[in-house]
Structures are given as C-alpha cells and as structure tokens.
Amino acid sequence: MRSLLIATVVMAIVSPSHAQSLPGGFVYLRDIDPSIIQDIRYATSNNFVGRPLAGYGAGECVVKREVGLRLKAVQQELAAQNLSLKMFDCYRPARASLDMVKWSQNGHETAAERRYNPNIPKTELFRLGYIASRSQHSTGAALDLTLVDLKADNSGSYDPSKTYADCTAPVAMRAPEGSVDMGTGYDCTDAKGHTAVTSINPEQRTWRKRLVAAMARQGFVNYSKEWWHFSLPGAGGAAYDFPIQPRRN
C-alpha cells in the first residue's frame, strides 16, 4: 500500500556484499515458498512513478519469517483450487516511501502516471493519505498482492510502448497484470479500488471476497481502501531502510 503510517524508521543499511544477511527476522519469500508468483512492481518501471524506486535493487519479496510462513499456508490452500498468490510488494525500504513523496511533489504529471490516479492530481496524493513518508510495508508485515487463476491464459505482459486505459477501465483495456480481474488494476487510487465497493461486477466482487477470506484464515487484515493491501497484526515493529538486494541461490 502506498499509504498507512506506522513506526519509527530504523536505518539498517545492508551492503551489497552482505545482501543475504537480512536483519530483524526478515527472509526472502522464495526461501519459504518458491511457488508463490512474484511481480515486484517497484523494482521495475511498471508502476505509478514510472521507474524503479529507491532501495529496490532486485525484484524480490522480503518479509518477516512469520509472515512468510503464513503466506505459505495460504498458498497451499489456494493450490488445491488451481489458484496462486501473486506478490506486488512486500517489505519496502523507508527510502522508497520518501521517493514516492518526492515524486508527488516534482511538479510534473504524465498521462502514464494518471493511469493510476485518474481522478486525483498527484499533488493531492500526500495530503489525502494515499502516499505517506512512513509505511507499514517497511516493518515487513504488510503486503500488496492478488490472485492468479492457474488455469487461465496469463501470458499477457506489460508493454511500455503501448498506451493503456486508466486503472478503472475494463480489464481488456488496462495494462495486463497476469492475474484475475479484481475490478481495477493494482495501485489504483480511486473509489473503485476500495475493497467492498459495489460499482464493480459480481465476478470481480467474488474474486475480492475469495482473496480476503483466504488471507483472513491466516490472520491477515485487509485495508478497506485498497483491495490488494494486507497486513499481519503484531508481526511488524520498527520500520527499516535496508535495500532489497538479489537473492543468492
């Protein structure tokens, strides 16, 4: 989630030469469950900022160990239904949240950026709480994710040269995400992104309910204004700012 406040930032910088020495009980999710699909968007240009965010040196999901184990349990339940979790964001370095704030105040707004904020100018995102200088993601206990139907054709991929409709448009017009249709794209700053909104179709509402229910059975709580955002109460603590580095095999 872009917003959500919590915690004091603890500067725990990890050098590239010690990238595997994660602090504070953090782990790479691939080491817990490699079957969980990962598309860490802030490590790419396919996000609302349009470039990798500060601190994202690799597209790896890093979480607290307890969070990872509970995600594994969710994944095992979903596998029996030919479904999978897909992670969009996990631990977020504190510097990345500050990078978002700087972006919102840079005085420029492109059409590609407006795809994520079709009805709210980027200059208003911080004031309205959609972007915060501190994020629960930086504690390792918050996640952005969706569901993938493993029986469906998920081959569509983001093409930066294409012009896509905004995140509230029908799924065929939005940038492809290789996942089920939740009614909006990921990181959609709009009322349609609110989990329980009624202005989406019944199938989209059903997918949201399935995701929320599966996560809730392992103790995760959804943030009502973002269908993709979940946190595990009590698993967080202090926020961190170590960079995400490539995982060594």
Q: What is the pLDDT of residues 2-18, one digit of tens each?
A: 444 333 333 333 333 33
Chain segment 13-65, per-residue pLDDT in tens: 333 333 467 998 999 999 999 999 999 999 999 999 999 999 999 999 999 99
104, 123 contact by CB (below 8 A): yes
- CATH code: domain 9-240 is 3.30.1380.10
Read out DSSP for 157-208? ---TTS----TTS-TTTSPP-SS---SS-TT--SGGGSTT-SSS-HHHHHHH
Quote the DSSP letter at residue 36.
S
Give the number of other CB atoms < 10 A from CB of residue 41. 22
Q: Rounded distance, CA 118 to CA 88, Å?
A: 21
Per residue in 160-202, pLDDT tens? 999 999 999 999 999 999 999 999 999 999 999 999 999 999 9
Q: For residue 237, is pLDDT > 50?
A: yes
- Report angle CA 57, 54, 131 to the nearest 5 degrees: 130
pLDDT at 12: 37
**Within 13 Å of residue 4, how many CA atoms lie on the same side as its CB?**
22
Average pLDDT over residues 127-156: 91
